[in-house]
Chains A and B, each alone.
Chain A
Amino acid sequence: MITALIIILVAVGSVAFHLMSPWWWTPIASNWGFIDTTIIITFWVTGTVFVAILFFTGYCIWKFRHREGVKADVEYEPENKSLETWLTIGTTIGVVIMLTPGLFAWKQFITVPEGADEFEVVAQQWQWSYRLPGKDGVLGKSDVRKITPENPFGINADDPKGKDDVLIESDDLHLPIDRPVKVLLRAIDVLHDFYVPQFRAKMDMVPGTITYFWFTPTKVGNYEVLCAELCGVGHHAMRGMVVVDNDSDYRAWLAEQTTFGQSLAKAQQQKSIDLASTTDRATSEKKVSAQ
């Protein structure tokens, strides 16, 4: 009796928790509402089945419980072909109802709209950097093997398309609202995963290849970036911030950023100063020893 009641209570309690729980997804800030819809459909189908099975189980436990001294009227029925067939058909229909929107959503997810702006996220233990394509709209070629302290993105200096690339190191990324973006993902050491809960989308970043996903930011605001693929001991602390701006704010921010060409020139300058100062020091030392 009590067992049957508890099984029923587990079903009722689960539904009540679902309806009243304060823990639910963060308000969406991208175009991926279709994914949320698919989740809701799945909740309805599976929730119904869950409650039905638990109620049926609870009912059986109560109705057909063994009672001392009462001869049970047990049915000897090894199979019931028509019942089994109907259950198979019903389950298949449920699966189709869930799978169809899922596959449609996935088709959208992997089809990047024409004209989407590209930008690149570069991950390393344990920080995020970003590269925007600059005025020409094209990212310069890059290679992990070309990475140096002056060229942390490994951009090919011989590729003219890379000179105007805008580099953002260990700082917030800004994105303009309502424009689809294709996010190119690159890691230079281990696996990482660029994850902003409000955008719903995420994808692993794999050293050796470039992965991607796309989305359209739909709400102005600041959004925290989390790493969603275990990347070593600093995994949990690998955070960043994406700021979705309206158009004018975005342009103002973009104007303040440095390009690869500028940072390269700056590094060159720094190098020659360093070189000059070491030569100075060497000459003065020589002078001292001469005296």
Chain B
Amino acid sequence: MADATHDDVGYVPPAEIEEQDLYHAKSWITKYVFCQDAKVIAIQYSITAIAIGLVGLVLSWLMRLQLGFPEAFSFIEPDDYYQFITVHGMIMVIYLLTALFLGGFGNYLIPLMVGARDMVFPFVNMISYWVYLLAVVVLCASFFVPGGPTGAGWTLYPPQAILSGTPGSDGGIILMLVSLALFIVGFTMGGLNYVVTVFQARTRGLSLMRLPLTIWGILTATVLALLAFPALFVGAVMMLLDRILGTSFFMPSIVELGEHLSYGGGSPILFQHLFWFFGHPEVYIVALPAFGIVSDLISVHARRNIFGYRMMVWAIVIIGALSFVVWAHHMYVSGMNPYFGFFFATTTLIIAVPTALKVYNWTLTLWRGDIHLTTPMLFAIGFIVTFVNGGITGLFLGNVAIDVPLSDTMFVVAHFHMVMGVAPALVIFGAIYHWYPKITGRLLDETLGKFHFWVTFLGAYLIYFPMHYLGFVGVPRRYFELGDTQIFDQSVGDLNAFISIVTFIVGFAQLVFFFNLYRSYSKGKEAGPNPWRACSLEWQTAETPPGHGNFGKELPLVYRWPYDFNVPGAKEDFIPQNMSQSEAFPKRKAAAKTSRSRAAKK
């Protein structure tokens, strides 16, 4: 066996402190509504995030109607179009992906995978969800105020975000900023919980280097979020002051439609730095949990240990750290000091190295495995394809000189949708197919799942791969219509129409997924406690779905890492983390005994 850290199989340190009792719900309301059990909070987070995500999906259809068929839909005015793209982007990045990965999967998986009975601060955890829900409600409310939601683009760049030439500059932008601030407050409460739980509440024997990569991904993403979101908070508060009290943090002297405004002396670029100091780590807040989860999906369904575990852990940590020194690659043509370009291009391309290593290790995990092409595995493979594709286009945009012609074109839109839209979404689907049996006790239907996968994966690829080429042609992003122009010929319009049609097909295919979720809840095949024969602790619970307190009377003791698949000599093709050496290798033990007795005889 190689000299890996999981080699110290068998050692479990003694208990240092006694277990504390949990909060036990006394009524229906405290059990299912104002609930402090992380598993219920996880479901609440997930349902809310997916519901608001559906709003984001419908908004994307509306904008694709306009882009694909610019003359056909007179009810979409430029105002509406800019509001659609803005709210769509905001919902997908923050209210769906961040909330679902950290609030949803984080809450469900952290306590179970680290062998804890619950989060360490269950009450704060509950508040976290309700503040998040409030943030979502405030965001939705902006549709109903005069002027509608903001149409400033999801980046909310001032000065235009708060001036009258932008839709929603009355109430919409105020509600947007308030909603973001609320989201950050809610997230911070949840995030502190996730970090403290991983560091403080791991069960005995579960050293950091025995954690599943899912937990490493979620943990690192949470740390990033705790450090990055405050920058957005500050930016949002300052912009609110500029908008409401007339301060000039981000506002220089301005003549708007011939009229001198009373602003002066502020810097629009300052906001961009604050925004992207948050915004770039945000990309990894979404990506790192996906990296972690997909590692586990691949390992379990390929029945082989994850390749290069330590490298995978360090890559996550290094990517997380580097993500704080690359933010200005979003600003190469923003008018900031051009010499920044050298630094940020270099850091950005360096980040490609640990990221590429992760990709190699995923594919090398498939090598000489025993690959079961289950639905979760298919989604994991789909992730590899789309992530590699979206990752390499990042090497174009990160390389400062290349960014000059491509920035603010459809190339950028295609890139970030592929890498932080499609790729993480495929992981989310894979993860739901993978853990649904633990959450409900029943398997999702495989046939429907495979149909869902192929339409979603191939459809998404057909949407975003050709879209890069629109960017090469020079089609700018955030254009309501291309209008009369010499540069773009009919073929550009044709491609846009094609992309729109595929968008509707992929969108509707999601109904199959929801039908599957609904039907399998009562009619799905009984899953049993460990349908995928996986090693990590959440599959070793006494009950499925796990009851209050997660594990039975005794917390599990951890003897090994979570990737002991097909270990030579083991009695089965997997060894659960809480199985000791003698249970896992009964023959070896017997052999050891006989050889010892032989030695004694001699």
Contact = CB atoms under 8 A, between A and B. Distances in A.
B159 A207 contact: yes
Interface of A: 3, 6-7, 10, 14, 17, 21-26, 32, 34-35, 38-39, 42, 45-47, 49-50, 53-54, 56-57, 60-61, 64-66, 72-80, 83-84, 87-88, 91-92, 95, 98-99, 101-107, 109-110, 124-125, 143-145, 147, 149, 154, 185, 188-191, 193, 195, 197, 200-209, 211, 222, 224, 226-237, 239
A201 B404 contact: yes
A42 B396 contact: yes
A208 B566 contact: no
A152 to B, nearest CB: 9
Nearest to A197: B474
Contacts, number: 329
A233 B82 contact: yes
A228 B385 contact: no
B254 A189 contact: yes
A14 B152 contact: no
Given A21-B466, A195-B408, A64 B392 contact: no
Nearest to A9: B458
Given A54-B385, A189-B163, A230 B153 contact: yes
B366 interface: yes
A145 B260 contact: yes
B381 A233 contact: no
A202 B370 contact: no
B176 interface: no
A88 B318 CA distance: 14
Contact of B157 (A25, A35, A230): A230
A103 B492 CA distance: 32
Contacts of B88: none
A77 B160 contact: no
25 contacts: A7-B385, A32-B404, A35-B404, A49-B388, A50-B392, A53-B359, A53-B360, A57-B384, A60-B369, A61-B381, A74-B369, A76-B567, A91-B352, A98-B399, A99-B349, A102-B400, A110-B341, A145-B253, A188-B255, A189-B165, A193-B408, A195-B476, A230-B152, A233-B151, A236-B483
A206 B269 contact: yes
Contacts of B486: 222, 224
B389 A50 contact: yes
Interface stretch (B57-65, B330-338, B515-523): B330-338
Interface stretch (B237-245, B304-312, B427-435, B539-547): B304-312
Nearest to B350: A95
Give chain A's interface secondary structure class.
mixed
B357 A87 contact: yes
Contact of B349 (A65, A95, A239): A95
A200 B472 contact: no
B485 interface: yes
Given A39-B396, A74-B566, A84-B311, A203 B401 contact: no
Contacts of B368: 64, 73-75, 77
B402 A230 contact: no
A64 B364 CA distance: 12
Given A21-B469, A231-B165, A79 B399 contact: no
A258 B415 CA distance: 45
A17 B269 CA distance: 39
B303 A92 contact: no
Contacts of B352: 91, 95
Contact of B568 (A76, A189, A190): A76
Contacts of B345: 99, 102-103, 106
Interface in B451-466: 458, 461, 465-466
Interface string B222-266: 000000000000000000000000000000111111101000101
